[in-house]
Structure 1
Amino acid sequence: MTKRAFIPALSCAIFLTAATTPLAHAGEKTWNDAGSITRDALVIAAFGVRLAQSDWDGTLQAGGSLVAAAGVTAGLKQAFPERRPDGSDNKGFPSGHTSVSFAAAATLQNRYGWKVGLPAQALAAFVGLSRVEARKHHVHDVLVGAAIGEASGFLITRRASDRVQVFPWADAGGGGVAMTMRF
């Protein structure tokens, strides 16, 4: 899948998310479900684009970004317990949905540029909004989650370069990695 093919696919994901979620009169469960679906779509996109392009280095970077965001978020939830607005538990700070969504969006933007990153960032912002509307988080939980995700995505992910390509290979006699470079 090329970047040109990915942009329409991401646009379709945005349209389907908006069209299938009647948010004008949505309740907390609808907002919660819409945010979870959008978060999952962003994570799938962060890995799917790289896998479709056999971008193994980018796949590892996406994984590192998402694991770092989730890990920092989990640590902060333990260190600073905060009651959720709906009263369900004391794991409100920071928003894990938001941190993972922004990590996926930032890694897409940092790896492939603003044409891919801008729609992904908009979807991540929607996830943050959905967490507040679902009464799972306060605004500050979402803002800190967004900062964690952005930081992990931009610190761990590098820009894709078509000048250097790495190809893993294997056959019955062994395997290895081939690299090509354009000057």
Structure 2
Amino acid sequence: MRRILLAGAAVAAAISSRAAASDQGWSDASRVGEVVLVGTALGLPSVQGDWNGTLQAGGSVGAAWLVTEGLKRTFPETRPDGSDRRSFPSGHTSLSFAAAATMQNRYGWRVGLPATVLAAFVGYARVRADRHHWYDVVAGAAIGEASGFLITRRHDRDVRVLPWGDTHGGGIAMGFAF
């Protein structure tokens, strides 16, 4: 897990060495970081057969995307480079922080800390690429953190929570291993 995140950070850092010369390099580095984070948040639980974790990661990233897109349409703001009016909030940052918060909440700080550092790099790179204002990135980070922590639960192999429902009602069944 950590190796994947560290490899992604290394690739993003390598791209950012080129980034010093151009805004496009920073943009590419932020895109790599975002893809690594979202891919790891979705792929890690899938590889482990943790389908509940995959569903939660998808929900966290999906919720962050929906909120971000809604705000972009509600509050159109011109990007620093003047390319369009979709600056607020930063989508790359919100998805990156949603993925990082999901991994932090699901697997703990050993996975969450490197993921959060990489997400912070994504936000920094979006500002350096002249695609976002600093407050676009802060708003995106807040959206991502909120969705990751509100939707994701700690992975515990000894506890199973299963929602159920039928035409007469519904509830939650819990199973514990001792």
TM-score (structure 2 length as normaliser):
0.88
Query: Is 1:54 aligned to 2:41, yes or no?
Result: no
Query: Is 1:145 aligned to 2:140, yes or no?
Result: yes
SS of 2:11's equivalent in the other structure is helix
Query: Is 1:41 aligned to 2:36, yes or no?
Result: yes
1:12 paired residue among 7, 12, 16: 7
2:26 paired residue among 7, 24, 31: 31
Following the alignment from structure 2 to structure 1, what is the Cα–Cα distance between the partners of residues 49 and 38? 17
Number of equivalent positions: 166
Following the alignment from structure 1 to structure 2, what is the Cα–Cα distance between the partners of residues 137 and 13? 22
SS of 1:22's equivalent in the other structure is helix
- Give the structure 2 partner of residue 71 of structure 1: 66
Unaligned residue ranges in structure 2 (runs of 5+):
162-173
Following the alignment from structure 1 to structure 2, what is the Cα–Cα distance between the partners of residues 20 and 140? 24
Q: Which amino acid aligns with 2:49?
A: S
Listed as ranges, the matches of 1:85-124 within 5 Å are 85-124=80-119
Provide the identity percentage: 58
Following the alignment from structure 1 to structure 2, what is the Cα–Cα distance between the partners of residues 33 and 20? 7
Alpha-carbon offset, residue 42 of structure 1: 0.4
Following the alignment from structure 1 to structure 2, what is the Cα–Cα distance between the partners of residues 81 and 19? 33
Q: Is the 8 A contact 2:5 2:37 kept in 1?
A: no
Q: Is the 8 A contact 2:26 2:126 kept in 1?
A: yes
Would the alpha carbon gap of residues 81 and 24 (structure 1) be closer, same or farther in structure 2, given more than 3 Å must change?
Answer: closer
- Give the structure 2 partner of residue 173 of structure 1: none
Following the alignment from structure 1 to structure 2, what is the Cα–Cα distance between the partners of residues 50 and 157? 12
Following the alignment from structure 1 to structure 2, what is the Cα–Cα distance between the partners of residues 11 and 37? 12
Q: Which amino acid aligns with 2:97?
A: F
TM-score (structure 1 length as normaliser):
0.86
Q: Is the 8 A contact 2:12 2:30 kept in 1?
A: no
